[in-house]
Amino acid sequence: MKPKAAAYTAISSLLLLLCFAWAISSGSVPVSMADITGFLLGKTGGSNYDIVMKIRLPRIIFAMLVGGMLAASGAMLQALLRNPLVDPFITGISSGAAFGAACAIIAGVSGLIMPSIAGALVTMYVVYRLSVAYGSLSVSRLLLIGVMIGSFFSSLIMMLNAIFSKDLVKVVFWLMGDLSNINPGLAMYGAVLTVVVLSMAIYFANDLNIMATGDDEARSLGVRVELMKVMYFIFAGVLTAVSVALSGVIGFVGLIIPHITRFFIGPDMRSMIPASFISGAAFLLCADTIARTVFLPSEIPVGVITGLIGVPVFIFLMNTRKDA
Partner 1 sequence: MSVLQARDIGYSYGDKAFSLKGVSLSLEAGESAALIGPNGAGKTTLVKILAGLTRGYSGDVLLEGKKIGAYSDTKRASIVSYIPQTDNMTFEFSVREIVGMGRRPYINETGTLGKFDKEKVTEAINYFGLESKTHSSYNALSGGEKRMVLIARAFAQEAKLLIMDEPLTYLDVKNQSELMEHVLKLNNTGHTILMISHGINLAAEYVKRVVLMKDGRVEADGTPAEVIEEGVIRRVYGLENFYIENNKKTGKPNLFMIPGGQGQNQNIQKGESR
Interface contacts to partner 1, rule CB under 8 A: 79, 82-84, 203-207, 209-210, 212-214, 216-217, 219-224, 262, 266-268, 270, 323
CB burial readout 68-97, b (16+ within 10 A) else e: bbbbbbbbbbbbbbebbbbbbbbbbbbbbb
CB of 168 to partner 1, least distance (A): 38
CB of 270 vs partner 1, minimal distance in Å: 7
With respect to partner 1, which residue has the nearer C-beta, 207 or 288?
207
Q: Which is nearer to partner 1, 7 or 296 (CB)?
A: 7
Residue 206 C-beta: closest distance to partner 1, Å: 3
**Closer Cβ to partner 1, 203 or 316, answer by number:** 203
- Residue 51, Ramachandran bin (φ over 0: left; ψ between -120 and 50: alpha; else beta): alpha
Q: Which is nearer to partner 1, 59 or 262 (CB)?
A: 262
- Residue placing its CB nearer to partner 1 in the complex, 25 or 209: 209
CA 133/CA 25 separation, integer angstroms: 52
| 42 versus 135: smaller Cβ distance to partner 1 | 135
Q: How far is the CB of 100 from partner 1 (least distance, A)?
A: 30
Rounded to a whole number of angstroms, the minimum distance from the CB of residue 142 to partner 1 is 13
**Rounded CA separation 284/307 (Å):** 12
AA identity, residue 113: I
Closest approach of Cβ 79 to partner 1, in Å? 7
Shorter beta-carbon distance to partner 1: residue 104 or 205: 205
User: Least distance from C-beta 216 to partner 1, angstroms?
Assistant: 5
- At closest approach, how far in Å is the CB of 217 from partner 1? 6
CA-closest candidate to residue 257, choices 195, 315, 314: 314
42 or 222: whose CB is closer to partner 1?
222
